[in-house]
Amino acid sequence: MIRLVGSDLSCVRGGRQVFSRVGFTVCAGEALLVTGPNGAGKSSLLRLVAGLLQPQHGRLELEGGDLELTMAEQAHYLGHQDALKPSLSVGENLGFWTALLGGQRAKSDDALALVGLGGLAHLPAIYLSAGQRRRLAIARLIAVERPIWLLDEPTSVLDSAAQAMLADLIRAHLSGRGVALVASHGPIGVNGAKQLRLGRQADQGTESP
Amino acid sequence: MTALAALLARDLRLAVRVGGGALIGIVFFTLVVTLVPFAAGPNLPLLARLGPAILWLGALLASLLALDRLLAMDHEDGTLDLILTARVPLELAVAAKALAHWLTTGLPLVIVAPLLGVLLNLEPKATGTIALTLLAGTPALTFIGLIGAALTVALRRGGLLLTILVLPLTVPVLIFGVAASNAAIAGPVPFGTPFTILCALTLISIVIGPLAAAIALRQGLE
């Protein structure tokens, strides 16, 4: 059972206080939907958890995780950039991520099929559309198993079928005792997700149905 | 180890694909060296005397030219974020990237240097020696450049700043590289003395470069 707890977090970027005194708790099997207006610090919060930003103040703790690894090493960060190399093929891109992040090579083919790119493994990534690029980025979440998913507006370029697919994947991940933090402006199709609203009156995370 | 091997293999593959830029360095090096005889005139003894310096200058400039591809592209497309969440120390990850960079931009310079030596009226033995000093010295250029690349990674189009930052640090390598070549060709200093210092500079930069670059990248996380 893992539990991700952030308490009293403050973040400063470029001299500007993005958010302060933000706290949340996510237990295994739960999703936290991070909402708020543009500039409220949704992406910054996810980057804090991913270890890509340092909090100015506050604590982030992972209970029940692998003690040998840092939190970032147990997390998948899916940001706005897809980290694709246009001159490599779809399969090569995914194969590289899988090896880099410590997954099994065999799972990457299944992952490609699962996100609907099964027949495109040999296509150079430069020919992919924005939605297909995001699908490929999502494939690495499946190819490499990590308990924490940090998804930054994952649905922004996806069509409705892919949004449904992503919701299925998140539900499957949660039922496998993972946690997911999703920054999004809309619903993510996961029932019972906790909600954390960032913005002017940023406060404790509250439950929502 | 798989992660580092994957990083190395990917960077090698990217360098030889379309837009990878592995050949840019060689072309630039060749241009610099071929233009010198036109500029200096057909004075063969003069060319032979300047040969080591010209080859080293060309190699130095060609290495600097390629440096902004070392980390900037991975930063722009978000790959650096993934590397930071990989289960390998950042120091080793950037070292693997620097090694791949040297293999695709530094090593080709070493290989074409003997061919270009012909244009500068250098004896086969002299060009061989210069290639040897380049082999020992160009890794230092890449690993020193790694520090500059990490410091300027967040700046878009930071190539010129990177060059200005790195150039002064590479001066010792240039001095001892040319000194070792000249020592072997004309004497009177024994070849071993400057060559050993050149090797020491390379070893030091291979240790310090990745450490400093990793610190710079972590500091730059904002």
The ipTM of this complex is: 0.81
Give this prediction's pTM.
0.86
pLDDT of residue B198: 92
Among B85, B97, B153, most A C-beta atoms within 10 A, so best to mutate, is B85
| CB-CB under 8 Å, A82 with B77 | yes
**Residues B86-95, mean pLDDT to the nearest whole number:** 90
* B82 touches A at CB < 8 Å: yes
* A190 touches B at CB < 8 Å: no
Chain B's closest residue to A104, CA to CA, is B2
pLDDT per position as a tens digit, B23-69: 888 899 999 988 888 888 888 888 888 888 999 999 999 888 888 88
- B135 compared with B69, residue with greater pLDDT: B135
Pairing of strands A16-27, A3-13: antiparallel
Of B5, B81, B88, the CB nearest to A77: B81
Of B18, B77, B85, the CB nearest to A73: B85
pLDDT of residue B20: 66
The candidate with the shortest Cα–Cα distance to B59, out of B160, B1, B140, B154, is B140
Assess whether pLDDT exceeds 50 at residue A205.
no
pLDDT of residue A106: 77
Assess whether pLDDT exceeds 80 at residue A191.
no
φ and ψ at B216, to 5 degrees?
-60, -40
Number of compact structural domains in chain B: 1
**Residues B118-138, mean pLDDT to the nearest whole number:** 88
* B10 touches A at CB < 8 Å: yes
pLDDT of residue A202: 44
Q: How many CB atoms lie within 10 A of CB A122?
A: 9
| CB-CB under 8 Å, A77 with B77 | no
Strand order across the A179-183 sheet: A75-78, A148-152, A179-183, A31-35, A194-197
A vs B: CB pairs below 8 A: 81
pLDDT band at A74 (very low <50, low <70, confident <90, very high): confident
pLDDT per position as a tens digit, B163-173: 888 999 999 99
pLDDT of residue B207: 94
| CB-CB under 8 Å, B17 with A87 | yes
Say how many CA atoms lie within 13 Å of A55 toward its Cβ: 20
User: Which residues on chain B are in Cβ contact (under 8 Å) with A87?
Assistant: 14, 17-20
* B140 touches A at CB < 8 Å: no
Q: Could you give the angle at the alpha carbon of A75 between the alpha carbons of A73 and A78, nearest 5°?
A: 125
Residue ranges making up the domain that contains B26? 2-219
Catalogue all structural domains in chain A, each as residue range(s) with its CATH number: 3-87+147-197 (3.40.50.300)
pLDDT band at A67 (very low <50, low <70, confident <90, very high): confident
Contacts of A21 (CB under 8 A, 6+ apart): A8, A9, A10, A58, A202, A203
